Structure formats: C-alpha cells, structure tokens
Structure 1
Amino acid sequence: EGTLVKEMSELYKSVCQMTATPDKEANLSVCKNLVEEAKQKGASMVFLPEGFDYIGSNREETLSLAESLEGETISSLAQIARYGSLLSIIYYICDISSFLRDIVSVYRKAHLFDVELPEKGVSLKESWIGHCYDLRFPELSLALQRQGAEILTYPSAFTVATGAAHWEVLLRAPAQVGPHHDKRSSYGHALAVDPWGVVLGDCGGEQPGLIMVDINLEKLRNTRRNMPVQEHRRKTDFYHTMEKK
C-alpha cells in the first residue's frame, strides 16, 4: 500500500474536464494528453470525468459503444498510468488503474435515476469515489467519513441547468463540459474545494483542461477538530422522530 499511494499529505493531484463525444478514439486521445500534461506538472493522482470514454447521442448508440473492464479503453488508460508511474483514477464505472496492476478497485454508481443499484463504494486508503447523482445523498459521504475517508471524489456530468443551479452548492468536482453532440451539453467547472468550502481551482465552463491542487490534510483535520460536526450528530433514530407518522 505504501508503494501504491504516497502519504496523502504529499499528494499533488490534477482534476480534469473534457468534452466527450461518441468518438471513442478521439476521447481517448484527449484523456492521454490531459494525463501526460498532469504528469509533467507533477501530479501523482489524475481525476478523469464520468463518461470520459464516450457520451452517445441515443440509447442504441450508447449500448453499441459499451465495453467490459477488459475492453480497449480501460487497457489503454491503464497503460498510460503505468507509463507515467502515477495513480490514474478513471471514471465511467470508476475503476482505479495503477502502475502496479491493471485494475486495483471498481466502483459502480450507487444512485441512478429511477433505478436502484444497492452496491457499496470502495475506499483506497483514505480516499473514496462517488459518482455524479450520488453526491445528492449525504448518507454516503457521512458513512465513509466515519470509516476514515478524507478525500471524497465525485466525477460528474451535470446538465447545464442543474449545474448552474446546484453545482457550487454541492461543492464537488464535475468533469464534463460543453456540447457532446446536438442533444447534450454539460456544465463543466470541475472544482477542487477545501474543507472550509473555499474553491481551490476551477476548470471553467467552456474548454477541456485541468487544474493542479495540493491536498492539505492538516487543514482538514484542524477543521474537524474546531468544528466536530460528526461528534455532535445524533443517532439516526432521533431524526426519524421528527417525521410525521
């Protein structure tokens, strides 16, 4: 574990955004360029967006382009991670590829519109991955925080309407930006936010790109000590008593 991930206080991460289209080869080329740029700037972790491999224009196209974990896209990104000797976190169903092995962990989105998929998230040391719609459910982040998670990541592809209304409030990092095809545009503004809610970096809402951010876990721990919300949280049954019978 010590070889796979540096001490978290030393991590320098890159948060990326892009405009995925149905052209998987072109999307992969953009991802490769972003990862290489991040590595040149010193990143040891690279966060790519939800739907980085493709966003189809309709259901049929989406299904026809789908791949398994053994597919070419995941294999190519794992190669890039190994070549750059970094931990590349790849988001579609969220598999984590390192330079030590092809797939370290897999996370599948827990919350889908009108669909229940009762799977647990995975943790990698003190990190945890959620997905887009998951961030509207605080129970996930609260549960993982109680288990020791210190870095929560939510790769997302918010629509323009919901992104403009809710993104800053939810304080997580979206990763898709701009028009993917004539039926779909995403909000962009991939963010990195500190534990006090200060935005450390913003990729903007127009173009693919990345930001580089230092992870300061000491500030996180100080914030938790000074504002011990989890210690003050009542048991779940207390909140249930407020519900009307």
Structure 2
Amino acid sequence: MPKIALLQMQSGVEPDANTTTIIDAARQAAGQGAAMLFTPEMAALLDQKRSRASDHIVREDESQVVRRVSEAAAENSIWIALGLPVAREEDGRWANRTLLFDKNGQIAARYDKIHMFDMELDDGESWHESKAYCPGEKAVSVTHTPVGHLGLTICYDLRFPALFEELGRRKCDVIATPAAFTRPTGKAHWHILQRARAIEASAFVIAAAQVGKHEDGRETYGHSLVIDPWGEVMLDMSGEEPGLGFCDIDLSRVQDVRRQLPSLANKRDIPKSTPQ
C-alpha cells in the first residue's frame, strides 16, 4: 500500500525559494516513507505579472528548477509531480506543465494543461490564461508508477468531464489534479467536482493545491484532497496554511469499486442525432 505526500503551497514570484520548499518537502516525504510527492499547479512560480514572470519561464533544458527537482528526486529516491510554467521546446510559447520525475530523477512524463482558465467573475476578478499560455493537445497517463496507472490533469481541466472519461477509459488507478483554484470558485465547486471526477473514473483523485494570500496578490482556496474511487474524502488539508500531508493509497480499492459499480464497463457511446 503506497504512501503519498501532498505539498500544499503558497508559492511566490521567486522560483529559487519555491524550489527550496519543494526540495525540503521531498526530503521530509521520503523520510516518512512516501513513494511520491505531489505539488500544486505552478508550484515553481506563481506570478500573475507576466512581464516579471517572463524572466523565469525558460525551456526545460535551461531550467534550474527542473535540474534541482530532478536531483532531489534521485537523492531521496522519490517520485515527484512538479507543476511549473515552461517555454515550449518547439516554439518558445509558454505552457502550464506538469513534469513527472521518477525516483532516479528522470522525466517519466510531461503534461501540458489543455483547458485555459479564461473567466470573468461578477466580483470583478478575471483571468485570461490563454493570452499567455498555449494549451496542450493530448491526454497523458503513465502506466508504471508507485500508485499504479497515473493520469495527469491540471486545475481548470477539472471542469471538463471528457478528459476524465478518457483517463477512465484507460483504466487509470489514480488521477492527479494539481490546482491553484480561486477562493470564490473553490468554495462553490472544488469538493463537488473532485468527488464527481473520482466517481466517474472509478479512480483515486489526488489534488495538491495552492493556498492563501500570495506574493503576487492573488488568493487561492487550498483544501488539498485525496478522494477514493467511491467519492469518499480521505484527506483534506483545509484552506488555511501551507504544509505537507500524507495518505496511504490502497490500490485494491479501485478494483473493488469497479467490480461493485462497473460504470466504465457498462458505458455505451451515445449516437449522434439531428435536432428535431
């Protein structure tokens, strides 16, 4: 039964400081027997001032964050799911990415956030992620990890069931949903959506989150979660402070739920029809 660690963060505008927090968490997590560490969306850099952030958003092969986290994974023999902005290798455009490092520090997978967070709330809060970031184009899952078959998503992806349906079709055991949810949207929808996605995919959902008032002025909801395939909350780290949380993942629970409620096996394609 693998133990995992979730790092709830209050990331700032300096990647070096954020990376030190991640490395310290990796050391603590490994010391307490965790096989994997999950970090939030944009763990390495959370800065809504894009002119300032641009100095730090570089290609993977130029990134000191990537180098340091890779070394931390190898030194502590722990898998790390890292959220960070990068400049894409093919064209230099920015991507909101998760990098998955194995226990040897090698990159086992990359996932670029597919759905861009473009919204206008009635309280005046607005976000236009697509003005700076290029969306990913494919679902990503990794077959052999300490938590079995792992599917990767990021934050706003949570609102798009088709992505989770695809990861469910691939029979993922666990789906990571790292996030930096706003307080208003988090209060309204965070727990409901996370539980729904776990139920739909009959999989564990692991949601490491940003929390609190950040250096760039934004406020995030926190409540890093682990949800089991039945939709039960196994871990909720609250919306108050950063910290490190732990949870044991019983992968036999996935097959138990799929045997009792075989919704993935029972699913049928809905035929297209012309409106009458």
TM-score in terms of structure 1 length = 0.89
Counterpart pick for 2:103 among 99, 103, 107:
99
Q: What is the total number of aligned residue pairs between the two structures?
A: 233
Letter in 2 for 1:107: Y
Structure with the bigger percentage of strand: 2
Q: Is it true that 1:89 corresponds to 2:81 in the alignment?
A: yes
- 1:22-66 deviation digits (Å, cap 9, x = unpaired): 022221121112111111111001101111111114121122221
Which residues of 2 match residues 143-162 of structure 1 at below 5 A?
143-162=166-185
Task: Give the corresponding residue for 1:225.
Answer: 259
2:7/2:242 contact within 8 Å kept: yes
Task: Give the corresponding residue for 1:108.
Answer: 112
- 1:181 CA drift (Å): 2.4
**How far, CA to CA, are the matches of 1:120 and 1:167 in structure 2?**
24
- 1:184-211 deviation digits (Å, cap 9, x = unpaired): 0110010001111111111121111121
Letter in 1 for 2:142: L
* Structure 2 spans left out of the alignment, 5+ residues: 85-96, 119-129, 144-148, 195-204
Task: Give the corresponding residue for 1:3.
Answer: none
**How far, CA to CA, are the matches of 2:67 and 2:193 in structure 1?**
32
- 1:106 CA drift (Å): 1.0
**How far, CA to CA, are the matches of 1:47 and 1:23 in structure 2?**
20
- The percent identity for this pair of structures is 32
The higher relative CO (CA closer than 8 Å, separation ≥ 6) is in 1
Counterpart pick for 1:204 among 219, 238, 250:
238
Counterpart pick for 1:61 among 23, 47, 52:
52
**How far, CA to CA, are the matches of 1:87 and 1:195 in structure 2?**
22
- 1:94-130 deviation digits (Å, cap 9, x = unpaired): 1111233432211111111354735112211111110
Counterpart pick for 1:176 among 192, 197, 210:
210
Task: Give the corresponding residue for 2:225.
Answer: 191
Q: Say what the alpha-carbon RMSD is for the aligned residues.
A: 1.8
3-state SS of 1:75 partner: helix
Name the stretch that deviates more: 41-50 or 55-64.
Answer: 55-64
CA change 1:174–1:159 in 2 (3 A) is farther
**How far, CA to CA, are the matches of 2:41 and 2:182 in structure 1?**
13
Letter in 2 for 1:121: A
- 1:63-97 deviation digits (Å, cap 9, x = unpaired): 22212212100110010000001111112211111
Letter in 2 for 1:124: V
Letter in 2 for 1:192: V
1:16/1:203 contact within 8 Å kept: no
Q: Is it true that 1:41 corresponds to 2:41 in the alignment?
A: no
Letter in 1 for 2:184: A
1:36/1:84 contact within 8 Å kept: yes
CA change 1:25–1:190 in 2 (3 A) is same
TM-score in terms of structure 2 length = 0.79
Letter in 2 for 1:91: G
Letter in 1 for 2:112: R
- 1:234 CA drift (Å): 2.6
3-state SS of 2:18 partner: helix
1:158/1:174 contact within 8 Å kept: no
3-state SS of 1:111 partner: coil
Letter in 1 for 2:78: L
